Amino acid sequence: MKRLSVSFFGAVCAVVAATPASMASERYAERPPVMVSPDLSAPWVMQLGQQPTMVRPLKRAQQAEQKRKLRAIEAPAQIQVQPDRIRTAAVPKPQKRVVARPQINPVYLPQEVAYDGPQKPGTIVIDTTENFLYLVGDNGKARRYGVGTGKPGFEWAGTHKVSQKREWPDWYPPAEMIAREKAKGRYLPAHLAGGIENPLGARALYLGSTLYRIHGTNQPWTIGGAVSSGCIRMRNEDVVDLYERVPVGTTVVVM
């Protein structure tokens, strides 16, 4: 048995010895290099050469989807709009500010009324309690106008004549008025030429030698109230109408 084993080992060695040298060199030669996918961002398993042709199509699809999403996000920022169009659409044109003024009570509009007082026709009678001015007419009639009268502390009563008449009169505020308004933080001019902005309005009828007048106003919504520093205030259209109806020398009775 021992002899048989030796003989078998010898036979194997003989076969090995008989193997050509070329086969031995091939066994120990270098293995071919691993083919790594050029797409290094692909999963590492796919970089080992297993179906390398599937790596690029898959990656391209992923990149295309990412680009599509990126374009969708950035699309609003890429819209180019002309600056003037932006102003037109985003900033509406400012509207002109309109200041609402209270409407005058219709009772203060001119109208014909009955009059049974003692004054003769052609006399002006001013009721500072009811804020009405009457131009006494014939046959127990009078033409009545609404007026603004002296505010508390500036009321007065008396009888005077119309000493002069002026169209679009200039205004020279009295020194007392200037000082009084200055104490309130309001500064009046020493002189204001006649015109639309002038508080004396379109016409003025001066009463005797006093500083009082029957005049128009640039604030018609104040008619019917105790609003003046003693003057009798009328709407411009009303004072123009009265101005045409009475001459200098007309008697004015303030009650």
pLDDT string in tens for the chain (255-residue length): 444 444 444 544 444 444 445 454 555 555 566 555 555 554 544 544 444 444 455 566 777 777 776 676 555 544 454 545 444 445 566 666 656 667 889 999 999 999 999 999 999 999 999 999 999 999 999 999 999 999 999 999 999 999 999 999 999 988 989 999 899 898 989 899 999 999 999 999 999 999 999 999 999 999 999 999 999 999 999 999 999 999 999 999 999
Sign of CA dihedral 84, 86, 89, 94: negative
Tokens 């021992």 belong to which residue? 2
How far apart CA 149 and CA 128 sit, in angstroms, is: 6
Domain 106-254 has CATH 3.40.50.720: no
Model pTM score: 0.61
13 is annotated as an active-site residue: no
How far apart CA 229 and CA 177 sit, in angstroms, is: 9
231 is annotated as an active-site residue: yes
Whether the Cβ atoms of residue 124 and residue 253 lie closer than 8 Å to each other: yes
How far apart CA 8 and CA 178 sit, in angstroms, is: 144
Show the tokens assigned to 130: 């009811």
Domain definitions of the chain by residue range: 106-254
- Catalytic-labelled residue, pool 13, 160, 191, 215: 215
58-84 CB burial, b ≥16 within 10 A, e <16: eeeeeeeeeeeeeeeeeeeeeeeeeee
